[in-house]
Amino acid sequence: MSRYTSPGGYGVIGPEHVAELSGLEIFARMHDGRLPAPPIAKLLDMTMSDYEHGRVAFVSTPHGELYNPLGTVHGGYTAALLDSCMGCAVHSTLKAGQAYTTVELTVNYVRALTEATGEVRAEGKIISLGRQIATAEGRLTDASGKLLAHGTTTCIIFSARSAQGASQ
C-alpha cells in the first residue's frame, strides 16, 4: 500500500551497526540503502527527506486509512511523526555505541489533518544535548509551511551495550 519503498528495504538494524556507527553514519547508510529504513517508516509512509547533526526531517502524506471516527487523521499519526523527527534529531548527535529512548513527549495539535492536507513535513531540532539527557523540538507543517502541530521531547542517552543486555 505504501508509495515509498526504501532502497534498503525495511527492518531493524543490527547491534553491530549501533556499536560501530555514529547516528549520522547510520542515517547516511539508511538514506542510500546500505541499511534498512525502520518498519515504522513503511507503516506511516514516511521518508527521511534530510538530516544533519542535530536536525532531521521526514515527509509523509496522510490518507483515509489513518482517519478516526470523526473523519480526520488520528492524532497518533501526528505524534508518531513528531516523535520520530525529534528522536532522530537526538540520534543524529550520538557517537558510535550510544543509544537513546524517549522518556517524555509533548504534542500540541494546531490544525486537523485530512487527505486534503497533502504532504506534511516533520522537522526535529536539538534544544539541549547533555551526556545523559537531550531535549528536542519538532514542527509539523504542510506544503505551504503552515503549522499543523508542534512538540518537545526529552530523551535519555545510554550505552547501546547496556541496552542489548537488558533485552536478553
Per-residue pLDDT of the chain (168 residues; tens, 9 = 90+): 344 567 779 999 988 999 999 999 999 999 899 999 999 999 999 999 999 999 999 999 999 999 999 999 999 999 999 999 999 999 999 999 999 999 999 999 999 999 999 999 999 999 999 999 999 999 999 999 999 999 999 999 999 886 555 544
Architecture of domain 15-167: Roll (3.10)
Domains of the chain: which residue ranges?
A: 15-167
What pTM value is reported for the model?
A: 0.92
The sheet with strand 120-129 has its strands ordered as 46-52, 55-60, 120-129, 133-142, 147-159, 98-109
Q: At a CB cut-off of 8 Å and minimum separation 6, what does 138 contact?
A: 82, 85, 86, 89, 122, 123, 124, 125, 150, 151, 152, 153
